[in-house]
Structure 1
Amino acid sequence: MKRFSVFLILLVFLTGYCSAQTLFTYGNDKVDAKEFLRAYKKNNTQPVANKEKSIREYLDLFIKSKLKVKEAYSRGYDTLPNLKTEFANLRAQIIEGYMTNPDILDKMTHEAFVRSLKDIELSHIFISFKNAAGALDTTVANKKKDEVLALLKKGTAFDKVAMQYSDDPSAKENKGYIGFITVFSLPYELEKAAYNTRPGHTTDVIRSNSGYHILKVMSERKALGKMKVQQILLAFPPGTDEANKKLIGKKADSLYKLIQSGRDFGQLASTFSNDYISAATGGNIPDISVGQYDPVFEKQVWSLKKDGSVSKPFQTEYGWHILKRVTAKPLITDENDKENLKVLEQKVKTDGRWKESTDFIYNEVKNKAGARKEVYSAFSLWALADSILNNQFLRPDGRNIQLSTPLFSIGDQKYTAGNFIDYARTYRFKPDGSGAKPYDQLTDEWEKYIMKNYYQDHLEEFNEDFRNQMAEFKDGNLFFEIMQQEIWNKAQADTTALLALYNQNKPKYIWNKSADAVIFFCSDGSVSQKVYDAIRKSPLWWKNTVAQYSELVYADSSRLEWDQIPGIGNSTPVSGMVTKPQINSTDNTASFAWISKVYSQPMQRSFNEARGLVMNDYQEILDKKWDVELRKKYPVVINEATLNSILK
């Protein structure tokens, strides 16, 4: 067993060693087997009959392209403004996809799916960081939290503690009862605590930006899915007393009787409902999931057992409601349902949990780039920040730090107190307008901001896939630019050389059996059938037919050899023939032809007719000549041992 284990370790080592071996050198540069195989596999996705032949042919093309790119660098093409702009634009377009960890996204999407199968019944105690006067006071909040924990530990009923201590304004009436929730109903930290706690137990204390939270899991059940309903809401205006609430209730009873007598629910909703958004659509409200609305409201929603059933009027703190069930959307329990997974993935990306998929960035920058906090007094920094940001008198402890004092470093790059204060000018206030962020939170956010920007600016150093993609794009642009200058433009402009090549090789440039035809390219099969029918009826009016379909159809008239005519199959072309649409299975596009004239015998191509073919041949001549020159300038040496190892 031990010898076998050693053999496996040796095999893995040698395999890695082989892939890291140099495959060939060109000038002072080298390419290892790993780089070549990555390119080969990317461009050869289908099985090949002769692997050695395929690899050797691709190696020759690969070396030729490497030589051209090296020459482009030597000429400074990588500094051309247009290429630099294209490179920067592509980087900006694709970089966001590399700023998250796909494994974490998959994990969180799976987690969301599993949680979507279960609803959790909760009660809640909230302890605000603000005191009775509205000022930030974590000392009071901590004291209150400890009192709550002590009472719960003694066995005091959760609802009683919630009524007495919770800073949630509704707790006095609902005793902290939230009702049932499902995935995405709550902020992620609360959801995570709820789903990780057994029924009958309370969660640990959860800290948010606004305060402390304690949840009690009352029960759990199989998730109910979603419900589509219509609503009539007779809302309570602000300050409505009980007498007027009863009067509004009587109006709701009258509407209910009208519904029972057969009046259209949607029309009544449009006329009488105070929920003006849903009233505009006949009372239709977006699909309801558990945990979105008041528990009383949701209880009524899920009590509607049949499509078309209508609830009796019921009261919530918002007013009197009447609901009609439109349809129930059953719970999706198949994790392979791609459409549902897309929805969950999108919700994960826009939810608070998504930040966890970017947290890996900070570890990467710390571990690989040496990000670190410098030694300084936080209190001195905050005193200095107060004096500058709030125009306050500089406290004595603020004199121990300067704007130039380094607070954070990544490698040799220093970030100073001045940098922090510049950041704080823009980001110090909470997004909800509830005041300034605590300085410890702001400092933490600033450090993460620095590390995220550093990671983004140096992503090639952290992510091999991104580095390879950007290198391929850059080299591809350089290859295109130098080919344009050295081959394509020269071949196109040198008419004298093209004509000479044509005259030397006239027998090569002939028409096989051919035809003049109009080719129709259609966006899909159904469009092609309509155009096909119209062309068959009136082929001479083909331009008018194409114009009717705007961007869905494109047509081009040209001379084609018989085997190039779409839809011709084994048929013999005849003047006036319209071939049947040929459907492309990959994208459902379609093409067919109207044949106007047939040439049944081979014919000599004129220079103008053969120009494209002649130009291709001339480009090949120029390319071969240039390849010889480049190999003299940058000698190529292939490591046959490494090549043989990848041919096996």
Structure 2
Amino acid sequence: MKIKQLFVGLLLSFQFITYAQNIKREILFTIDDKPYYTDEFSRVYNKNLDLVKDESQKDLTQYLELFVGYKLKINKANKLGLQNGEAYKNELNSYRTQLSKNYLTDSKVTKELVEEGYNRSLKEIKAAHILITVDENASAADTLIAFNKIKAIYDRAVKGEDFGNLAEELSQDPSAKENKGDLGYFSAFRMVYTFESAAYKTPKGKISRPIRTRFGYHIIKVEDVRDNRGEVTVEHIMILDPKDATAEERDKSNKKIQDIYQKIQQGENFEELAKQFSDDKSSSPKGGLLNRFGSGQLSSEEFENAAFSLTKEKPISAPFQSEFGWHIVKLIEKHPVKAFEEVKSELEDKVGKDDRSRLIVNSLNDKLRKKYAVKRDNKMYKSAAKTVTDDFYESKWELPTVTKPYDGKLFAIQEKTITGTDFLNYIKEQQQGGSKLKPINKLVDNLYEKFLDTKLNSYYNDNLESEFPDFANVIEEYRDGLLLFDLMEKEIWEKSKTDSIGLQSFYETKKLEYTWKNRVDATIASSTDIEVIKKAQKMFNQNIASEQIKEKLNTKDKVQIMTNTGVFEEGSESLPKELKFKVGVSDILKEGEYYFVVKTDKVIPAAPKTLEECKGKAINDYQQFLEENWVNDLKKEFTIKVNKDVFENVKKQLQK
């Protein structure tokens, strides 16, 4: 997600919530004589009431200050002309298009399709198919030829001929020569809707009757049906194995993961080993714990299959390799398929992008035709239609040289007139679609129906603000949110990043707030065997390198000791908690099942971080500092007048 989308999204959380509280619409305050009203203040306050963490922001007087400050920034953005920027206009149109999708749909049909998709997703189907290709707009004769071919293959299949052999011999799916039509396992939303429906309606072991998709005619054999695997929670240890690694580096990664696996087999704690050695730094502090996931949610099929294959009886995998490196996975818990409500919004999104969305579109088109009751001028239609020739099929058709005779009304949607010329322009645009529907008068009739639906949807979309007050409110908030983002970027964020002198000066005043804890440059050795760690301590005292120590103490059959070298900050999970920060070899320390000895080459005392070391945090703090001072400057730039009596009345109503 873009940072701008996230920023505006936070401003608009719970955007579709409406509040029944009746607040009399009065002028609450003005900025340079531009009025802002009580109903907007009340609506925004109620909407955000449960979102704010700072209790002071729930105080209405304090919230009014925040609201006025927000509107000051919007006024500043307009004053600077940011609302005229092309990027801003495009972004706003993009947001409106996204938001309008919630209104440009048939909710009843959507609900039925979402529920159907969920019920289907509970199962996974293993199937094979045979395809005879035919274009969607093929002639009746060509369509019949394709149907007869698939029907003949169907008859042979149901009489007992081997389906795979038929697919290899006759299917026009190019992959069938290699896979004999096998599609593997799939669930809802993986195939085109017509194909999916046929697969789910065909019993296991049976063959579907011929069905048609945009690719042609198919027959489907359902070979297996299994339950969806649900989700799983695991821990893992990962050793990176970069693609550009040398053979020696790959061998080292492999050796390390095998050593770790050997220690697990010896009974050592998985979570402790993950903390010490896993290269996945996002999960290693948590003992390798990952968020629960389901099939297809990770970018590694190898990892998913390994995780789902684990059982309570065999909870830990052997080392295996993915595109990211080497892994060992430990099962924590298996979860059943999510409840419908948990995946409802995700399924709604899938339905909107899937072939089945045509059912929703058709349903909405029917409703809009009833809502606006368009009456066509048939004389204008016939006159315009006669100008379209067979040149259309070769994308060579042109509008008449003189279009004035077609400038009259073809039909009207409420107060909006659509002309015959509008329709002819639409036909010209459709030439690139490659429609082969014949004869030409049939094609023109077909295009008219699509043109009418397009215009009805466009009119309805253009007037959503007047149809739905909630939609109008949210669009207004989007508009303000986008302006605020552009203004903040211009006035605050960019300045905080580019004003190196100002940032340096700010850092100097705050440098004691940005400090390193005590650190050590050290090598840590760990083992579950006290005698082994004693030997390691002795070798450290003899300045023997950690790699040599491991070579001497580990055997082919047993990993006795592991080492970790680097700079560690006080409190690091990798360091024994009782370690004293001093140069030299430590005493032997015990934590849980492990014994540790640490060879410290250097102690780095607590000290302020340089600006480079804390730049991200310093820039963030500098941004807040600039914004606080900037709002005070805006209050001087604009004239603000608050109607205190009106505000007191609003407070009383909101506090009821």
Larger Rg: 1
**Length-normalised TM-score, structure 1:** 0.47
**Length-normalised TM-score, structure 2:** 0.47
